[in-house]
Amino acid sequence: MTPDDDRYVPAAGRGTFTRLYDPVMALSMRESSWRTALVERICLDLPEGGVAADVGSGTGTFAIELATIRLDASVIGVDGDPKSMAIAKSKPGSDRVRWDEGLAADLPLADDSVDVVSMSLLLHHLIPEAKASALVEAERVLRPGGCLHVADWGKPDAITFAGFQLLRVLDGVVNTRDHARGGIPKLVGAAGFDDVSVWRTLRTVWGSMEFISAAKPR
């Protein structure tokens, strides 16, 4: 598994800026605010002693925060970029997370083995076919009744349009096409999920983020 796999684009383009990802996120994305809100939302859906998989865990900040708050749970971070995973493993609290190398479209997890799957700013890095496959894979590994949480780009409004066009140049026009059309909730439903809802939107320098929740049928 290498970051040259053409099914996805690493954070901030072709991986050159991987080590800058955390400071850029902190400065431009209001990350601490939305990340904490998403962790709290996931905690509501994560049963005591449950298993959560953060797919596309990147540099590990989100998975580590979740594992630190929910000491009773097992948290798995899955990512296909060895450079990002090396950074994740070097962070304080990383020992609370199990780190698995693998792509979202081919998860190294068993069927019906996870209670919550999170995908935070992952899907826009994937080509359309891999995007659909990643959502199907999330449905496969979730237990019946398990929850999917997606935080990613939605259709920009007039305020966020310019920033989103720049992001599309960095991360790929094809990869971000479904996002530009506001089509991610529909893709989640097409992967077999029920109760698909957008529970929050957030304007950032780079575009409008959507926070989507859905459930695997029981």
Q: Mean pLDDT per segment of 10 residues, for the chain of length 218 residues?
A: 48 50 57 85 98 97 97 98 94 98 97 98 95 98 99 97 94 96 98 98 94 98
Say if residues 146 and 109 touch (Cβ distance below 8 Å).
no
Angstrom distance (rounded) from CA 85 to CA 2: 12
Sign of CA dihedral 159, 22, 43, 106: positive
Of the candidates 153, 121, 149, the one whose C-alpha atom is nearest the C-alpha of residue 42 is 149
Whole-number pLDDT of residue 145: 98
Angstrom distance (rounded) from CA 208 to CA 152: 8
Whole-number pLDDT of residue 34: 87
Q: SS3 sequence, 69-82?
A: HCCCCEEEEEECCH
Whole-number pLDDT of residue 14: 45
Paired strand residues for 99: 77
CA quadruple 211, 126, 35, 154: dihedral, nearest 10: -30
All residues at 6 or more sequence positions from 215 whose CB lies less than 8 Å from its CB, including other chains: 145, 146, 147, 148, 193, 194, 195
Q: Please give the domain boundaries of the chain with CATH numbers for all domains.
A: 18-215 (3.40.50.150)
Whole-number pLDDT of residue 164: 96
Whole-number pLDDT of residue 2: 41
SS3 of residue 98 by DSSP:
strand
If you search the block for the tokens 């994305």, which residue do you land on?
29
Sign of CA dihedral 215, 55, 10, 133: negative
Share in percent of the chain as helix, strand, coil (round to 5): 40, 25, 35
Whole-number pLDDT of residue 4: 42
Whole-number pLDDT of residue 10: 55
Q: How many C-beta atoms surround the C-beta of residue 157 within 10 A?
A: 12
